[in-house]
Structure 1
């Protein structure tokens, strides 16, 4: 017989009722949707109907010219070293270049993705990548870009998520940024609310009040033009933003869906010399770790930054760009950052190669351990907890999202999509 009665326990725990509701509202968990592996920024004047196809074609040409075989791609991206995810030796073999079977699968994946879905998330840039231009020029570019996106959607050539990065709410560019936002969204809305998947990225956020004002502007504009309500992302690229992260998330009122680190603005603001500015600098990684901490369980996704060493020019220079980029992607994935920025079509090669290498290298173990967990038994000497099972399911779900795993592969591990989704917190 328990010593404390149910009535007494109910009275003692009653104060937790409002706390339970608040925690549930603040931490709803994963949104249950596919997360893009990257966001590609295209300056507004370069945006046209076939921009996604153009990026894919340019990336395929770079692959054919500079890494026409799986072994060459492995070497070019640095993914054939002993510590790389697809290196021979990672499964007990002696190190010595890329695992040929994995290299073949990665290469095939890159070719397929560059042909079918080179860009997963597209952002029209009217900020740093666009610069300051005469008002009439930016007006025109904002409208033409929106019209191009509508045409791409009608042609089935628009990614599942897309959007705009206007200028910030800093005083010097505030009016210009909000005018472009208005022109872009008005043209995008048309007479049908615009294509689904719209995301607006607010750069250089420094205070929660800016988030509130930006949402208020959208609340006034969206109903007037019958636009589908957009998601909102915040770019964290000032020290003030990092210090105010909890307040920024709170100001988002559940409407902020992502935090993207601005590698170079943030590095520069801390006084880091240009040659050391990178997403793997300890200061930037500290910021992204804090972003992960503040958003954990909220459904807000964190994105890593970009690499400014572009893979262009002679083969040696292209390989250097791919090597650096793939290394940054792999490092980010190991830190739980599954999305980053891409600034040039040729970066799609190293992006999709690194993503595939990381997923494929860890997939056999993830399937085995998840299957064992699902059957409530142990796999070898590993006794996984529910939190670990969620992480394992997340790896499997990302492999499914990428097309690197199918129902046959799941069945071979005595799993199915419903079980994996449930263990991974989707649905």
Structure 2
């Protein structure tokens, strides 16, 4: 018989009941939905209903012109470096050849990556889309910005009607800084009012609030949405915060608290944040130690909350000669891979041709780690369901996360799962997703 009675233990542990409730509310876990691999920003004046098709076509043209074969693409994105085959740095500085030797990409892997990029650029080139009225748009006369905000919303509705919208899309208005606050909120109102129409607007809406510096800004922004949404009968959007000021990094816990469970993402603003720290332009990048420190803090504060953290962009655009395009692709792919190794599975893309290096790097990382993930997850599942734990549940969840991302990307199917004695239901359960 236990020494302490159940009644006594119940009395001693009673103070933990409110703590349990608070922790459960603050840390509900990952939302269990597919996470886009990127967010693509398109300036409002360039936005039109076929922008996704246009980006996909432009990316395919860049691929055909500058890396038409699997071997050329493997070389162009430094595939051997991306997958860790070579000794070059994680930022993707090495060239990587398609041959299979040290620092080179395996030819079979190169074939699969190339096929994935072609398929994705045709069927799913953009997974998350933002109309940009902030830095990528600039300051325009009021009547011009009014027109662009409304036209962009109408274009999104047309794209939705044509079945051409990704699962998530939205707007980045200007910030709540005093100089642009009124302009940003006016554009937000015009955009959302036009988007709502008479049916509540297309699902999947996300609003990105840039240059957040204080929790009060988050509170006010949500209050504005709370006043506006019922008046126009718009579906409630998800809200993301761009972390691009030192004040925001220092206030991360308060920003998350101010989000009241409605903030779904934190996106680092690489260049604003780097500049604010006095980092020279030539060194501003998402793999700078100062930026990585910020994203690590963002991951720490949001762990278990369901808020996802996204890496920044590469400002080295793949334009010009083949050598210049390949250099930009190699750098971008290296940054994407470095972010993936750090648990950052989403970033920004600013140019159609960056879709080539984005999807190539994603495929390379998923495929390179997939055999091991399947084998370890299969061993875990077999032991667990037999009553013995072969590995930590947290590790199994991470392994399942890798497999689920491969399924999301179309790099794995049910037949492939079956060869590892797994099925989608088991992987979904172990990965913490809703069935």
TM range (shorter): over 0.9
- How high is the TM-score relative to the length of structure 2? 0.95
> Could you list the per-position Cα deviations for residues 315-338 of structure 1 after superposition, in whole angstroms to 9, with x for gaps in the alignment?
000001100000000000000000
Q: Distance in 2 between matches of 1:332 and 1:132?
A: 32
Structure 2 alignment gaps of length 5 or more = 84-90
**Residue deviations 1:159-216, cap 9 Å, x none?**
1100000000000000000000000000000000000000000000000000000000
Aligned to 2:379: 372
**Deviation readout 1:1-30 (Å, 9 max, x if unpaired):** 111111111111110000000000000001
SS of alignment partner, residue 80 of structure 1 = helix
User: Taking structure 1 as reference, are residues 157 and 242 closer, same or farther at Cα in structure 2, changes over 3 Å only?
Assistant: same
Shift in Å, 1:376: 1.2
1:340 match? 347
CA distance in 1, matches of 2:411, 2:82: 23
The alpha-carbon distance between structure 1 residues 378 and 365, as it changes in their structure 2 partners (threshold 3 A), is farther
Q: 1:14 to 1:340 in 2, by over 3 A?
A: same
8 A contact 1:86–1:98 mirrored in 2: no
Change (3 A) 1:68 1:91: closer
Q: CA deviation at 1:98?
A: 1.0
Question: What is the distance in 1 between the residues matched to 2:303 and 2:414?
Answer: 30
Q: 1:350 aligns to what SS in structure 2?
A: helix
Q: After TM superposition, give the deviation of residue 423 of structure 1 in Å.
A: 0.7
Contact map agreement 1:305 1:341 (CA 8 A) in 2: yes
1: CA distance, partners of 2:24 / 2:353: 42
CA contact (8 A) 2:74 2:98 kept: no
Aligned to 1:27: 27
Q: What is the rounded CA distance, in whole Å, between the counterparts of 1:110 and 1:380 in structure 2?
A: 41
8 Å CA contact 2:285–2:314 kept in 1: the answer is yes
CA contact (8 A) 1:35 1:339 kept: yes
Count of residues in correspondence between the two structures: 427
User: C-alpha offsets along residues 211-268 of structure 1, whole Å, 9 cap, x if unaligned?
Assistant: 0000000000000000010000000000000000000000000000000000000000
Shift of residue 62, structure 1, vs aligned partner: 0.2
1:114 lines up with 2:121 in the alignment: yes
Kept in 1: contact 2:134–2:172 (CA 8 A): yes
C-alpha deviation, 1:380, in angstroms: 19
Classify the secondary structure of the residue corresponding to 1:260: strand
TM normalised by structure 1 equals: 0.96
Are residues 263 and 2 of structure 1, via their aligned partners in 2, closer, same or farther at CA, if it must alter by over 3 Å? same
CA–CA distance in 2 between the matches of 1:313 and 1:379? 58
Give, in whole Å, the separation in 2 of the partners of 1:142 and 1:164: 9
Rounded Cα–Cα distance in structure 2 between residues aligned with 1:122 and 1:89? 31
Q: What is the DSSP-based 3-state SS (H/G/I as helix, E as strand, rest coil) of the residue aligned with 1:122?
A: strand
Q: Distance in 2 between matches of 1:5 and 1:351?
A: 59
Distance in 1 between residues matched to 2:119 and 2:93, nearest whole Å: 19
Change (3 A) 1:360 1:425: same
Conservation of the 8 A alpha-carbon contact between 1:207 and 1:241: yes
Moved more, 376-385 or 242-251: 376-385
Residue 333 (structure 2) pairs with residue 315 (structure 1): no
The one-character-per-residue Cα deviations of 1:59-78 (angstroms, maximum 9, x if unpaired) are 00000000011111111111
Q: CA 1:343/1:6 → structure 2, altered by over 3 Å: closer, same or farther?
A: same
- Tell me the residue number matched to 2:200: 193
Classify 1:13/1:55 alpha carbon distance in 2 versus 1 (closer, same or farther; 3 Å).
Answer: same
Cα distance, 1:81 vs. partner? 3.7
Whole-Å separation in 1 of the counterparts to 2:220 and 2:25: 22
Equivalent-residue separation in structure 2 for 1:200 and 1:87 (angstroms):
37
